[in-house]
């Protein structure tokens, strides 16, 4: 294995004589089967030696995550620092990622202790599913509850004794520390209220807590949708016209977000079978309604997708369209998609509230509005179930609003 990766005999000998030879070779072959090129395998081989040295790994025994974190910090912030080390914190995170993947492959990573409140969350998730909520909504609701319980109710006894004052303090903390807007705070309060309503029926907590949770008032159409102008969207697309793999991939992603107004989760879950090349259609499963909506595959978007599939993605085992650029070539996360947009929007220093994928959804809607499409047509394009969701964009049609303001009422007044 190592004589295929390294040219110098002394380097081959060093890797063969290092501890955990079988574990390293099995993992490198696994990465090779997933499509890792020779350069990536060489880097991984060197990283495994560093991990073994820093963690003093033995042939057997489970490894705790806290031990990985400690070793990562020692390596990243060692003195004297390596001359190539530019970002110690990123080095620490990379050490943790690589070590966890290797130990998970070897089945040696100690599973974290299951919190006592996890059973509460699992039962609450089943209850929400029985009510017919979509998986993405259940994930968001349970995420709010999990963060609350991890801070205030680590065991069953604390949940039974919790007071409305503690809940109010948690809500106030979302404002002070997290700087949540009123809309986000309303969703947080609604999640807690729903959980405590369910908890009261199960006898997990005192009665009356859910009714006492008060959310901030959010006025209808309170916020104007915030997104870049269509000229800025063209600048973003122009920034991805290079031949680098990341530019080819990001160009296809930005087109899907801007032309169709897809949500980041919809792009993330897009699979190869959703691209109907024969009929030139894209099939998107809406997360809330869980219905499939078809869009015509425009030549520009189709060319960008083909370029990405043929030059960058190639024949990977995953069925998801957009994958990471490095082995193990996993589907992109929501945070990765946010970074794709934000890294290109941030240098423009725009005064807009959203600077992630959703901002391009706003840009798509306002562009369609400026082209003269009706609210019904825009709502259908964006997959809105409620016409009120589309009505918010009427506030950004400044030309139309100006025409209304200048309308001559004649003798009606």
Kindly state the helix (H) or strand (E) to which residue 339 belongs, with its residue range.
Answer: helix 334-345
- Mention every residue, 6+ apart, whose C-beta is less than 8 A from residue 282: 260, 270, 274, 275, 276, 294, 295, 296, 297, 301
Distance CA 234, CA 363 (A): 11
3-state secondary structure of 99: helix
For the annotated catalytic residues, the residue numbers are 263, 288, 358, 361, 384, 393
- Written as one string, the DSSP assignment of 189-239 is HHHHHHHHHHHHHHTSS-TTHHHH--PPP--TT-S------HHHHHHHHHT
Residue 206 corresponds to which tokens in the numbers above?
Answer: 């005192």
Q: How many residues does the chain have?
A: 413
Residue 195 corresponds to which tokens in the numbers above?
Answer: 């959980």
3-state secondary structure of 374: coil
Contact 139, 183 (CB under 8 A): no
The Cα-based distances of 67 to 56, 63, 299 in angstroms read: 11, 7, 52
Residue 220 corresponds to which tokens in the numbers above?
Answer: 């209808």
Distance CA 378, CA 409 (A): 30
Distance CA 20, CA 45 (A): 12
295 - beta bridge partners?
Answer: 282
Closest CA to 142 of 170, 113, 122, 162: 122
Neighbours of 64 (CB within 10 A): 12
Distance CA 158, CA 117 (A): 10
């Amino acid at each position: 294995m190592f004589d295929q990766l390294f040219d110098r005999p002394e380097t081959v000998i060093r890797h063969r004589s290092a501890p955990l030879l079988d574990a390293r070779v099995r993992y490198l072959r696994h990465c090779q089967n997933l499509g890792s090129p020779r350069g990536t395998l060489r880097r991984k081989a060197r990283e495994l030696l560093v991990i073994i040295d820093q963690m003093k790994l033995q042939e057997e025994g489970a490894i705790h995550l806290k031990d990985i974190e400690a070793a990562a910090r020692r390596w990243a912030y060692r003195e004297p620092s390596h001359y190539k080390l530019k970002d110690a914190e990123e080095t620490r995170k990379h050490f943790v990622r690589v070590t966890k993947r290797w130990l998970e492959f070897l089945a040696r990573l100690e599973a974290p202790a299951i919190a006592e409140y996890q059973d509460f969350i699992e039962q609450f998730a089943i209850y929400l599913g029985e009510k017919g909520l979509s998986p993405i909504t259940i994930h968001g609701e349970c995420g709010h509850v999990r963060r609350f319980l991890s801070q205030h109710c680590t065991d069953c006894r604390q949940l039974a004794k919790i007071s409305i004052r503690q809940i109010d303090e948690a809500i106030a903390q979302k404002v002070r520390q997290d700087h949540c807007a009123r809309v986000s705070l309303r969703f947080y309060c609604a999640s807690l209220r729903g959980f405590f309503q369910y908890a009261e029926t199960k006898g997990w907590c005192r009665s009356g807590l859910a009714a006492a949770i008060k959310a901030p008032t959010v006025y209808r159409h309170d916020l104007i949708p915030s997104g870049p102008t269509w000229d800025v969207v063209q600048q973003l697309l122009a920034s991805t016209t290079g031949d680098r793999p990341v530019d080819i991939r990001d160009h296809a992603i930005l087109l899907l977000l801007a032309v169709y107004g897809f949500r980041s989760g919809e792009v993330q879950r897009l699979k190869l079978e959703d691209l109907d090349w024969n009929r030139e259609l894209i099939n998107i499963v809406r997360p809330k309604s869980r219905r499939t909506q078809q869009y015509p595959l425009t030549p520009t978007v189709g060319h960008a997708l083909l370029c990405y599939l043929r030059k960058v993605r190639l024949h990977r085992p995953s069925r998801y369209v957009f994958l990471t650029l490095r082995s193990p070539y996993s589907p992109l996360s929501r945070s990765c998609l946010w970074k794709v947009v934000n890294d290109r929007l941030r240098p423009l220093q725009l005064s807009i509230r959203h600077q992630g994928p959703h901002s391009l959804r706003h840009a798509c809607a306002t562009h369609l509005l400026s082209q003269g499409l009706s609210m019904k047509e825009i709502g259908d394009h964006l997959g809105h179930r409620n016409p009120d969701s589309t009505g918010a964009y009427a506030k950004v049609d400044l030309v139309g609003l100006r025409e209304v303001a200048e309308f001559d009422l004649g003798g009606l007044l």
